[in-house]
């Protein structure tokens, strides 16, 4: 029975029926009122058939007797979804509506029948089964295979020179000044290889084994002068003789080291395949050449240094001296001399009336951040010139040029020429292969031509990769800067590539840069001023 005239709710076999009998002078029955009747009868938690209930309410306005199913018991249910790679499964639980709750054991058994037998999260399943709202949870999670680690090199000596320039995102190369020469003894271990690992097996939710990928092996470089692979342990590198260890990527080489008490007429010119350390000065006209580093504890007074590695001068480079290094040059000061470094130049105090050129950067005033100065002469670098004071009112014009690297641009042009030549060769070989294929290989050279063609394509690919790398490096030119730590005075000719400006006024702390053809001076507050001239 119900509390509405002519409307009865009848429960039978888990179903709830609305039975209607016409009654005169009875108010209209609304859907909300019908739901209230169902709730009063104790069936609010059953599953309501909304469309059928709406139809029943509408028919109650008629003069007919009828019976309509409006609600029913429904047991809780679930749907299992398995990822395509069988590494994860999700379960979506629809809660009970007047029916039975889910049983965890029954659910796990159903999972097993579906093939989900590994990584089942019973705690999560128990929680979602008990939730009156149901929901979707991760039901099972596989264990991925853990690939092996690539073999790596481990240095066994405390200090080594590293001649592999490290270019940052801003295009600057991190280089360090030279200190004392590190020395290793003959047969001393230099580096070892930590071998690759095989990794760990994994399993998917079907308990199928997942094989890991073994880590890649590494090997020492084939050419490591002054070093040898231990005959008893192919993963260990040892020094052949006493000398300076130098890191060169896939290994360590050892350079011979020779010491001199100065370079003068008494010693004569010095040329050495290794590293040279001079305890004293390099005097006028004397030449010191080394395939490795050159370290001078005193002054280079009119002498000439040339190193394949780096040059460190404890005193100054003066009196029309010269220093050329494949890596970096550092000195206390430079005056009336020329210095050319493949990577960078670092000057403790000042550079006066000298010609400086660096492949990446020139830093003046490393030990005098407020009083260091770059005055007169010229300074050229690809990415950065930094100095506290630039120019002087009592000096001649100071020339500063950034955003260019002649060596890089020359290599780029050379690569373009090689690409054009290789393209032509590849095209000719391609035509020859097509001709021999079409006309017949009467002389039996087709296989050889195809091999040569494949080699030409490989060479072309390597050239294109190098071209892209060079273009990326040259694109960094737009980030070139001239940083001023104290101020600019006197006559300074500033150039960013081919864009030139004549500075004939003073500037305070800030930096010069170029943006869309405009030379800008940016103050510490971030204000950017266009530089005319």
- Each residue of 114-169: pLDDT tens digit? 999 999 999 988 888 888 888 899 999 999 999 999 999 999 987 666 555 555 55
Q: Is 466 a residue whose pLDDT tops 90? A: no
Q: What is the pLDDT of residue 389?
A: 96
Structure tokens at 111: 């999972």
**pLDDT value for 409:** 76
> For 338-353, how does the pLDDT look when each residue is reduced to its tens digit (9 = 90+)?
999 998 999 999 999 9
Band (97; pLDDT cuts 50, 70, 90): confident
Tell me: do 410 and 469 sit in the same domain.
yes
Residues 132, 82, single domain; the answer is: yes
462 lies in some domain: yes
| pLDDT level of residue 492 (50, 70, 90 thresholds) | very high
Same domain as 105, residue 64: no
Same domain, 112 and 136: yes
Residue 61 within a domain:
yes
Neighbours of 154 (CB within 10 A): 9
Closest by Cα among 290, 364, 288, 293 to 332: 364
Note whether residue 224 is domain-resident: no
Whether residues 124 and 65 share a domain: the answer is no
pLDDT tens string 352-409: 999 999 988 999 999 988 889 999 999 999 889 999 999 999 999 999 999 877 777 7
Q: Give the domain-ending residue among 57, 72, 87.
A: 72
- Domain-embedded: residue 259: no
Average pLDDT, integer, range 274-294:
94
57/94 same-domain check: no
Domain count within the chain: 3
SS3 label, residue 415: helix
Q: Give mean pLDDT, residues 243-258.
A: 88
Under 8 Å between Cβ of 278 and 294: yes
Instruction: Give start and end residues of each alpha helix (H) in 139-268.
Output: none
> How many whole angstroms separate alpha carbon 433 and alpha carbon 188?
55
Q: Please tell me whether residues 58 and 87 are part of one structural domain.
A: no
Q: What is the pLDDT of residues 411-428, one digit of tens each?
A: 888 999 999 999 998 888
CB-based burial label for 1 (10 Å; 0-12, 13-18, 19+): exposed
State whether 54 and 107 are in the same domain.
Answer: no
Asked whether residue 62 is domain-assigned, the answer is yes
From the number of C-beta atoms within 10 Å of its C-beta (0-12, 13-18, 19+), residue 133 rates as exposed
Same domain? For 103 and 50 the reply is: no
37: CB partners within 8 A, 6+ apart: 2, 3, 4, 7, 9
- The model carries a pTM of 0.61
Tens digit of each residue's pLDDT (9 = 90 or more) over 23-53: 887 888 888 888 898 888 888 889 898 898 9
92 and 65 within one domain: no
Task: Give the Cα-Cα-Cα angle 188, 191, 197 (nearest 5 degrees).
Answer: 140
* Domain with 47 in it: 7-72
- The rounded percent of the chain whose pLDDT value lies above 90 is 54
Q: Give residue 401's pLDDT.
A: 93
56 and 96 assigned to the same domain: no
Q: What is the C-alpha to C-alpha distance for residues 339 and 345, in angstroms, rounded to an integer?
A: 8
pLDDT at 330: 94
From 456, 477, 498, the end of a domain falls on 477
Strand locations in 297-366, DSSP E?
A: 300-301, 304-307, 311-318, 322-325, 328-335, 338-341, 344-347, 350-352, 355-358, 361-364
Residues 189-221: pLDDT tens digits? Answer: 999 999 999 999 999 999 999 999 999 999 999
Q: What is the pLDDT of residue 164?
A: 55
Domain assignment of residue 98, yes or no = yes
Q: For residue 262, is it within any domain?
A: no
Residue where a domain stops, chosen among 114, 141, 168: 141
Kindly tell me if the per-residue pLDDT of 282 is higher than 70: yes
Residue 448 lies in a domain: yes
Residues 39 and 89 in one domain: no
């Amino acid at each position: 029975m119900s509390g509405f005239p002519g409307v009865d709710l009848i429960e039978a076999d888990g179903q709830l029926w609305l039975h209607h009998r016409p009654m005169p002078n009875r108010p209209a029955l609304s859907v909300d009122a019908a739901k209230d009747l169902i709730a009063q009868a104790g069936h609010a938690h059953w599953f309501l058939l909304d469309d059928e209930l709406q139809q029943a309410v509408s028919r109650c306005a008629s003069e007919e007797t009828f019976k309509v199913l409006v609600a029913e018991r429904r047991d809780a249910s679930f749907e299992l979804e398995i990822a395509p790679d069988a590494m994860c499964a999700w379960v979506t639980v629809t809660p009970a509506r007047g029916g039975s709750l889910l049983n965890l054991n029954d659910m796990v058994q159903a999972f097993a029948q579906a093939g989900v037998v590994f990584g089942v999260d019973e705690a999560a399943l128990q929680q979602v089964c008990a939730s009156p709202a149901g929901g979707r949870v991760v039901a099972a999670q596989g264990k991925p295979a853990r690939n092996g680690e690539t073999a790596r090199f481990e240095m066994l000596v405390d200090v080594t020179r590293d001649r592999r320039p490290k270019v940052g995102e801003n295009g600057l190369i991190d280089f360090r000044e030279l200190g004392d020469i590190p020395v290793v003894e003959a047969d001393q271990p230099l580096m070892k290889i930590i071998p690759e690992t095989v990794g760990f097996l994994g399993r998917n939710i079907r308990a199928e084994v997942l094989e890991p990928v073994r880590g890649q092996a590494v090997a020492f470089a084939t050419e490591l002068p002054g070093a040898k692979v231990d005959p008893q342990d192919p993963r260990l590198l040892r020094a052949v003789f006493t000398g300076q260890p130098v890191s060169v990527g896939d290994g360590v080489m050892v350079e011979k080291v020779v010491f001199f008490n100065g370079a003068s007429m008494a010693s004569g010119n010095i040329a050495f395949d290794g590293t040279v350390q001079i305890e004293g000065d390099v005097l006028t006209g004397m030449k010191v050449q080394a395939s490795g580093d050159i370290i001078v504890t005193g002054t280079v007074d009119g002498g000439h240094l040339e190193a394949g590695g780096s040059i460190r001068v404890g005193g100054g480079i003066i009196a029309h001296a010269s220093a050329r290094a494949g890596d970096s040059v550092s000195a206390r000061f430079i005056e009336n001399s020329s210095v050319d470094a493949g990577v960078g130049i670092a000057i403790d105090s000042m550079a006066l009336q000298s010609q400086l050129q660096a492949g990446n950067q020139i830093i003046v005033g490393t030990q005098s951040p407020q009083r260091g100065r770059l005055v007169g002469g010229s300074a050229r670098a690809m990415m950065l010139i930094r100095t506290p004071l630039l120019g002087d009112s009592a000096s001649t014009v100071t020339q500063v040029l950034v955003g260019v690297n002649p060596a890089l641009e020359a290599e780029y042009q050379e690569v373009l020429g090689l690409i054009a030549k290789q393209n032509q060769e590849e095209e000719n070989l391609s035509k020859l292969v097509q001709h021999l294929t079409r006309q017949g290989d009467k002389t039996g050279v087709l296989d050889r031509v195809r091999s040569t063609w494949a080699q030409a394509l490989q060479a072309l690919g390597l050239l294109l990769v190098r071209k892209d790398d060079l273009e990326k490096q040259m694109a960094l030119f737009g980030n070139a800067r001239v940083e001023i730590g104290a101020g600019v005075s006197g006559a300074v000719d500033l150039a960013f590539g081919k864009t030139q400006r004549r500075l004939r006024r003073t500037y305070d702390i800030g930096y010069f840069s170029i943006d869309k053809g405009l030379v800008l001076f940016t103050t510490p507050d971030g204000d950017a001023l266009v530089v005319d001239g």
